[in-house]
Structure 1
Amino acid sequence: MSPDERVAVVMITYNRRDEALLAISRLRELPEQPHVVVVDNGSEDGTAEAVRERFPEVDLVASAVNLGAVGRNVGLERVGTPFVAFCDDDTWWEPGSLRRAADALAEHPRLGVVTGRILVEPGGREDPINAELLHSPVEGPPWMPGPTLGSFLAGASMVRRSAFLAAGGFSERLWLGGEEELLAADLATAGWELVHLPDVIVHHQASTQRDPRLRLRHGLRNTLWFIWLRRPLGAALRRTRDVLATAPRDRLTALALWDALRGAGWVLRQRRPLPARIERRFRALEEAQRRSTARRYGRPSGPRQRRGDR
């Protein structure tokens, strides 16, 4: 199979040297032979040095600070390909999936994001989120090659570079944790569609080198911020009630609420309620969000952690 010059891959990493090296080796073995950009978010374990030594052909950005999801913005700005796939250091794309996602984006010029099917490793089990993506209640145009989505999962998605840049990329303020929803809403508002393609497969073996409590705290804060940044008043009140009803009544939730309230001034200054046609999409998701176990904020010791509103 010849290289696919339409595609680049941007991977962010932080203090996971061995996992990052393994992830890069998998990317280098893909038949699509994508250009790879690795953004090291200020690791202190020698990640950047190890990548530079072992993979000199990789485009490495060694940030002095942890940029969070904004590291993806930095990586994407360094490439000139029309389509860019994101990859975390604990995920990897199945051979051929980059090409299938790029084919969909090339065939449908109003398609902005392709999100794949996630298999949990070891074992290749279906991630519970797959069923929700496959049966998305969002109504899209008839030309869509798969289910229309309200949001996406960055580590399992390919984006149209021009659409991503025009929408402003990931918010620096949200940093990391449920950061996709705000960008997804802004993409949809600008007329871009988001799709789930089950034959685009991404594997995920969750790293043990993470701070699940911090991720949950940021995820809850960012969900609340998104609600009040983009949902109209009635929907914002309803969704806030529903989200807090699923959150544990503990110190972590209290801290997330405090974080959200501290940002209230910024949220009010940046508030731009969605146009009616996009608001209908998010409203269609509410029942699924209430029933979802894959999306619920739970304790970090549990088997699953909430991914934010998708």
Structure 2
Amino acid sequence: MSLLTVVICTHDRAGLLERTLDSLDAALRPAAGAELLVIANCCRDGTHALLEARAQRPGGLPLRWLAEPAKGKSHALNLALREVHTPLLAFVDDDQRADPGFLQAIVAAAQAQPEAALICGRLVPDWDGREPAWVHDDGRYRIYPLPVPTFDCGDAGRWITPDIALPSGGNAVVRTEWLARIGPFSTTLGPVGHDLGGSEDSEWFLRALAAGARLWYAPQIVQRHYVDPARLELGFLLRLTRRRTASTVGLTGHGVPPDGVPLWAWRKLAGYAARALLSPGAARRRFFLMRAAAALGEVEGYRRLQRAARPGEHA
């Protein structure tokens, strides 16, 4: 049996998925062995044919794939949790490329840090020169976090806690002996198809850490995330920021407000919206529009909490 299974959940991204699989097949193999498990979630674009061909191709990592008919990434992830039987499970998203040392770095980190139930690495944007110049701004009005998942806690390994950062779900390794204690991913959170849902990974990590799991950051584990030019357009950025912020309300101690949305949330929204309207420069205007979108997401998140708390109503 291999030591490591790399899990990829995918939905109608055959082209990107093939790039991900190519990068993993090209990665240096750990002596203990590694294999791939791909969960095809309601795919209708030729993903099944691609995976069947890859599974039969000689020379690549051993690949097994399953179809999950229930639409939603969390359903696909939970199927994977039930199907992995190796000591280590690494999550990789279908729009990421693994660096050549990725697989060996995972095994090395797991061996060097036996107390780590969870391990995360460095995730960087896969820039190709088509991105607008403002994404590289580092001044007062830079847009952060970018819509391209990024995780970089420096060049040295360290223990990570929620007050420092939480990695994304496509940039994590878990010792499978912990899966029963952590439990499945929430099926009320996370993307369905290619919508803008999220936070299923953050909620899962928080639950793992609350159960006593320790999270180690290993910078030698490197992946590169595909940059979709459409995600760098202002309209998409605003929708993504609003949706993702709304999904995080309630994850880290927000209670259900007794008298509606907190007044401070309305004030924040009004303040950022006014500053966006009155800002003279494009960079400053974009910055405050993004802050206003996040504040609107907080308002929507508190409303969701209220609806969920009312008998007979659902978020």
TM-score category (smaller protein): 0.5 to 0.7
Q: Distance in 1 between matches of 2:263 and 2:216?
A: 26
1:35-81 per-residue CA deviation (whole Å, 9 max, x = no partner) reads 11111121221212322234345211212232223422211321211
Q: Distance in 2 between matches of 1:58 and 1:38?
A: 8
Offset at 1:238? 12
Aligned to 2:206: 185
Counterpart AA for 2:177:
S
Aligned to 1:173: 188
Aligned to 1:22: 19
Aligned to 1:149: 161
Aligned to 2:84: 79
Aligned to 2:110: 105
Say whether the 8 Å CA contact 1:113–1:159 is kept in structure 2. yes
1:136-175 per-residue CA deviation (whole Å, 9 max, x = no partner) reads xxxxxxxx95242322222122122222342113211112
Aligned to 1:262: 304
1:217-270 per-residue CA deviation (whole Å, 9 max, x = no partner) reads 442222103134689x9xxx89979996785445x965774465235454799x
Aligned length: 254
Does the C-alpha gap of structure 1 residues 5 and 65 become closer, same or farther in structure 2, counting only changes over 3 Å? same
Q: Distance in 1 between matches of 2:158 and 2:267?
A: 28
Aligned to 2:283: none
Does residue 6 in structure 1 map to residue 3 in structure 2?
A: yes
Q: Distance in 1 between matches of 2:229 and 2:174?
A: 28
Does residue 159 in structure 1 map to residue 174 in structure 2?
A: yes
Using the size of structure 1 for normalisation, the TM-score is 0.66
Q: Distance in 2 between matches of 1:102 and 1:239?
A: 47
Does residue 43 in structure 1 map to residue 43 in structure 2?
A: yes
Does the C-alpha gap of structure 1 residues 104 and 229 become closer, same or farther in structure 2, counting only changes over 3 Å? farther
SS of residue in 1 equivalent to 2:39: strand
Unaligned runs of 5+ in 1: 136-143, 270-310
Say whether the 8 Å CA contact 1:147–1:195 is kept in structure 2. yes
SS of residue in 1 equivalent to 2:252: helix
Counterpart AA for 1:48:
H
SS of residue in 2 equivalent to 1:117: strand
Say whether the 8 Å CA contact 1:228–1:267 is kept in structure 2. no
Matches within 5 A, 1:210-249: 215-228=240-253, 248-249=291-292
SS of residue in 1 equivalent to 2:83: coil
Using the size of structure 2 for normalisation, the TM-score is 0.65
Q: Distance in 2 between matches of 1:169 and 1:230?
A: 23
Structure number with larger C-alpha Rg: 2
Counterpart AA for 1:149:
T
Offset at 1:209? 8.1
Does the C-alpha gap of structure 1 residues 166 and 214 become closer, same or farther in structure 2, counting only changes over 3 Å? farther
Q: Distance in 2 between matches of 1:204 and 1:62?
A: 24
Aligned to 1:141: none
Identical positions, percent: 19
Per mean C-alpha deviation after superposition, the further-off stretch among 63-72 and 15-24 is 63-72
Q: Distance in 2 between matches of 1:239 and 1:170?
A: 32
SS of residue in 1 equivalent to 2:9: strand
RMSD of aligned alpha carbons? 4.1
